[in-house]
Amino acid sequence: MQLHNYIAGQWVAGTGKQAELTDASTGELIATTSSGGLDFDAMLKYGREIGGPPLRKMTFPERGRMLKALALYLMDRKEEFYQVSYKTGATKADSWVDIEGGIGNVFANASLRKQLGNMPFYVDGPPVLTSRGGTFMGHHIMVPKEGVAVHINAFNFPIWGMLEKCAVNWMAGMPAVVKPATVTSYLTESMVKAIIESKILPEGALQLIVGSAGDLLDHVDSQDVVTFTGSATTGRMLKVHPRIIAESVPFNMEADSLNSIVLGPDAVPGTPEFDLFVKEVGREMTLKCGQRCTGVRRILVPEKLVEDVQIAIGKRLGGTVIGDPRAEGVRMGALAGPTQRKEVREQLAKLMKGSELVYGDPQQVSVTGADAEKGAFISPILLLNKDPWKNRVSHEVEAFGPVSTLMPYTDLDDAIAISKLGKGSLVATIATYDNKHAQQFVWGAANHHGRMLVLDRDMAKENTGHGSPLATLVHGGPGRAGGGEEMGGKRGVLHYLQRTAIQGTPTAITALTQQYQQGAKQNITAKHSFRMHFEELNVGDTVITEKHTVTLDDIDKFADLSGDKFYAHMDENALDGTIFTGRVAHGYFILSRAAGLFVDPPKGPVLLNYGIEEARFTKPVYPGATIQVKFTVKEKVDQEKKELKEDSPKGTDIASGIVKFLVDVVDETGETVAIATILTMVRKLDQG
Ligand code: NAP
């Protein structure tokens, strides 16, 4: 069988020399593949011209709903992918990380639709108020780039590697070209086929290269984004590609790194942290046969405990059943192929120059349900580097398999310094039940690690693990790890958007951001906003309320009702040395009384008020002051109608949207005394 590339809406077989792809456990030929004869220039143009425009037009909520539909669709078909995944040497647990972890990433990104606003672009951060007169201001918007996201991926997570990146670029409104590593590209291809069959994405949103990248990078331009996941050697070479430099193409690199785990000084044998540490190391070494960019490569333990740890890890590894992942009881599968095993052995030979072998045999392993030589099997290998300051090879060489090196440290500062010898990693863990140790390690070493985990008894059950980057947290690391930053929820999406500063009057900036900016022209409406449905409200619509004169009696009654008898409200004689010149009204009273002014009580389209944001009390209000509210539609956020289930709360089926109102409470001088944003849910006219 020959794999097909997906280019310009067609499945195309590559010409010329074919790569042979084999089952990692049996060595049997699965497929051949090539990307020969493909026109990469045309592929990128197709993405830019056909895939980009419909994606850019969609709002964030629309893109999010598209991703959710895709994730649900793929989850329904997951069994197909598991069957293919076994051929990569992955066990069920390994495949779960790749397949359901990847789909989970799409779900997580789909949920971002609630955080990114209602438009096809994102309004970034707070406004910048620049002029004294209030007629000139600045802000930032972030708009989707007009290019293609080109993803060059590593072989170890053929599905997760694609989905963790594509979910983010689709959410941002960019199409993708995915180039998985050739050796496991058959698994990526099986999922791309399903995605294309689903017809959930617009045409051109996804194209696939199964084979070499050829001259792909010669055709990228300044609106494209290139991401790379793989070895530091390949990454560095691609990063300086002349076209990447000439066109200033953003290049996000995630490379291999020599991640470390530290046994805290308090985590001695007999403590839960010692056991958790041993378990975590065992899991990290064997999961995915050690082919994880985040895998533990360096194990740092107090010098007195080296022997205890060595014995405990050895015992744990000894219980791991290795073999064909389809065979009963197997816990560790094979490397992705014979080339990968050859590379691991070569790297191991380098590592062993500074370390001794304390567990495993690089040349031999006994396996279940397979032939150890025909399949790409290898034993877990534990090395011991007795002098990590002298034998630096452990901090320089990665063997991308089940290989880790144990090394002693003298005190925690020494452990921090040793962890930094890796010159930048994706993740570092400390097992400790002492927050002082956790602080010392994390504060001392964070500048060298992209993510840090504090492992202890209290989080053990829910711990997702040293090696698992979370969709909503940043993944990436400094230095050797590539200097990249992926995922991270909203942060990930922003990589695919162009941040542009916008300057003008508050009215112009309101029009550009579709968020009301203070000082912008208001549209005073005859009809109260509470009488209008979601579709009828416009940003800038304003209600000017009746007035209320604050009295001492108000303050006393509010103090009684709320129980808040803080001296500044109650005791005239206690105000010396404060900023107050008399008994001041409670800020909460001002906001509550403001609600009494801006709320239009009879039943209408406003369903509920569910919160207040950014509330500030900006000027003391004394008895005698007269307050009034300018109540302005600040922002509208569309909401999808929730699916009705049997136990759905009442009202779930009402189509509604969120309307944020700016509550500007002014006194008789016109100055703002309190300001807040309230969040309301407003019924739509269209209940369809
Ligand atoms: P690799 O050999 O560097 O290959 C990575 C990708 O680059 C593959 O798709 C490969 O395609 C492609 N490539 C190679 N030469 C290229 C060229 N001249 N032009 C364009 N593309 C080129 O790495 P790998 O062996 O697949 O993966 C293992 C490494 O990845 C490990 O070192 C691991 O630590 C690292 N990794 C890092 C992360 C992370 O997030 N930081 C995640 C996973 C893996 P072909 O397969 O067609 O050669």
Q: Are strands 672-683 and 606-617 parallel, antiparallel or unpaired?
A: antiparallel
Q: Are strands 225-230 and 251-255 parallel, antiparallel or unpaired?
A: parallel
Distance of alpha carbon 171 from alpha carbon 201, whole angstroms? 11
Distance of alpha carbon 80 from alpha carbon 187, whole angstroms? 10
The domain 522-683 is placed in CATH, from the list 1.20.200.10, 3.10.129.10, 3.40.50.740, 3.30.1330.60, at 3.10.129.10
Q: What is the whole-number distance in angstroms between the Cα of residue 208 and the centre of ligand 1?
A: 16
Q: Which residue, among 164, 97, 142, has the nearest Cα to 487 in the 3D structure?
A: 164
Q: Which pLDDT does position 648 carry in this prediction?
A: 67
Q: Is 664 in the pocket of ligand 1 (CB under 6 A)?
A: no
Tokens of 276: 């958790």
Ligand 1 atom, smallest distance to 216 CA: 20
5-10+20-116+124-256+492-498 and 522-683: identical CATH topology: no
Q: Which residue, among 397, 377, 490, 462, has the nearest Cα to 117 in the 3D structure?
A: 490
Distance of alpha carbon 673 from alpha carbon 675, whole angstroms? 7
Amino acid present at 566: F
DSSP codes, 340-386: HHHHHHHHHHHHTTTSEEEE--TT----BSS-TTTTT----EEEE-S
**pLDDT beneath 50, residues of the chain:** none
Q: Is 620 in the pocket of ligand 1 (CB under 6 A)?
A: no
Q: What is the whole-number distance in angstroms between the Cα of residue 228 and the centre of ligand 1?
A: 7
Q: Is 538 in the pocket of ligand 1 (CB under 6 A)?
A: no
Q: Is 400 in the pocket of ligand 1 (CB under 6 A)?
A: yes
Cα–Cα distances in angstroms (integers) from residue 627 to residues 171, 280, 558, 568, 614, in the given order:
44, 61, 16, 20, 20
Tokens of 597: 């002014």
- Residues forming beta bridges with residue 357, ordered by sequence position: 383
Q: Is 34 in the pocket of ligand 1 (CB under 6 A)?
A: no
SS (H, E, C) 552-601: HHHHHHHHHHHCCCCHHHHCHHHCCCCCCCCCCCCHHHHHHHHHHHHCCC
Which of 152, 253, 346, 397 has the most ligand 1 atoms within 8 A of CB, as the residue to mutate? 152
Amino acid present at 667: D
In the three-class reduction of DSSP (H, G, I as helix; E, B as strand; rest coil), residue 255 is classed as: strand
- Residues forming beta bridges with residue 679, ordered by sequence position: 611, 660
Contact 397, 480 (CB under 8 A): no
Residue 24, classified by CB atoms within 10 Å of its CB into exposed (0-12), middle (13-18) or buried (19+), is buried
Q: Is 293 in the pocket of ligand 1 (CB under 6 A)?
A: yes
Q: What is the whole-number distance in angstroms between the Cα of residue 75 and the centre of ligand 1?
A: 27
Residue 505, CB-side half-sphere exposure with 13 Å CA sphere: 7
Amino acid present at 532: M
Tokens 């041993």 found at:
278
Q: Which residue, among 674, 662, 617, 611, has the nearest Cα to 636 in the 3D structure?
A: 662
Tokens 């046994």 found at:
263
Q: What is the whole-number distance in angstroms between the Cα of residue 449 and the centre of ligand 1?
A: 21
- Residues forming beta bridges with residue 636, ordered by sequence position: 659
Domain boundaries, the chain: 5-10+20-116+124-256+492-498, 259-473, 522-683
DSSP codes, 499-537: EEEEEE-HHHHHHHHTS--TTS--EE-SS-GGGS-GGG-
In the three-class reduction of DSSP (H, G, I as helix; E, B as strand; rest coil), residue 80 is classed as: helix
In the three-class reduction of DSSP (H, G, I as helix; E, B as strand; rest coil), residue 172 is classed as: helix
Distance of alpha carbon 535 from alpha carbon 657, whole angstroms? 9
What residues act catalytically?
254, 293
DSSP codes, 419-480: HHTTSSEEEEEEE-S-HHHHHHHHHHHGGGEEEEEEE-TTTTTT---TT---TTSEE--SGG
Q: Is 255 in the pocket of ligand 1 (CB under 6 A)?
A: yes
Distance of alpha carbon 148 from alpha carbon 203, whole angstroms? 13
Contact 662, 632 (CB under 8 A): yes
Q: What is the DSSP letter of 642?
A: P
Distance of alpha carbon 410 from alpha carbon 415, whole angstroms? 7
Amino acid present at 678: I
Ligand 1 atom, smallest distance to 482 CA: 41
Q: Which pLDDT does position 688 carry in this prediction?
A: 78
Helix (H) / strand (E) containing 53: helix 52-57
Distance of alpha carbon 458 from alpha carbon 481, whole angstroms? 30
Angular region, 292: left φ>0, alpha ψ -120 to 50, beta rest: beta
Fold of 259-473: Aldehyde Dehydrogenase; Chain A, domain 2 (3.40.309)
Long-range CB contacts for residues 362-368, cutoff 8 Å, separation at least 24: 365/322, 366/322, 367/322, 367/323, 367/324, 368/321, 368/322, 368/323, 368/324, 368/327, 368/328, 368/329, 368/330
Distance of alpha carbon 142 from alpha carbon 667, whole angstroms? 37
Tokens of 129: 């108020």
Angular region, 95: left φ>0, alpha ψ -120 to 50, beta rest: alpha
Residue 477, classified by CB atoms within 10 Å of its CB into exposed (0-12), middle (13-18) or buried (19+), is buried
Contact 218, 192 (CB under 8 A): no
CA triple 333-336-337, angle to 5 deg: 110
Tell me the residue length of the chain.
688
Q: Which pLDDT does position 660 carry in this prediction?
A: 97
Q: What is the whole-number distance in angstroms between the Cα of residue 302 and the centre of ligand 1?
A: 35
Amino acid present at 355: S
- C-alpha torsion 7→168→229→427, nearest 10: -170
Tokens of 204: 């051109």
Residue nearest to atom 34 of ligand 1 (CA): 256
Q: Which pLDDT does position 444 carry in this prediction?
A: 98
Fold of 5-10+20-116+124-256+492-498: Aldehyde Dehydrogenase; Chain A, domain 1 (3.40.605)
Q: Is 320 in the pocket of ligand 1 (CB under 6 A)?
A: no
DSSP codes, 619-635: S---TT-EEEEEEEEEE
Phi and psi for 75 in degrees, rounded to 5?
-60, -40
Residue nearest to atom 28 of ligand 1 (CA): 230
Number of H helices, E strands in the chain: 19, 28
CA triple 140-143-148, angle to 5 deg: 145
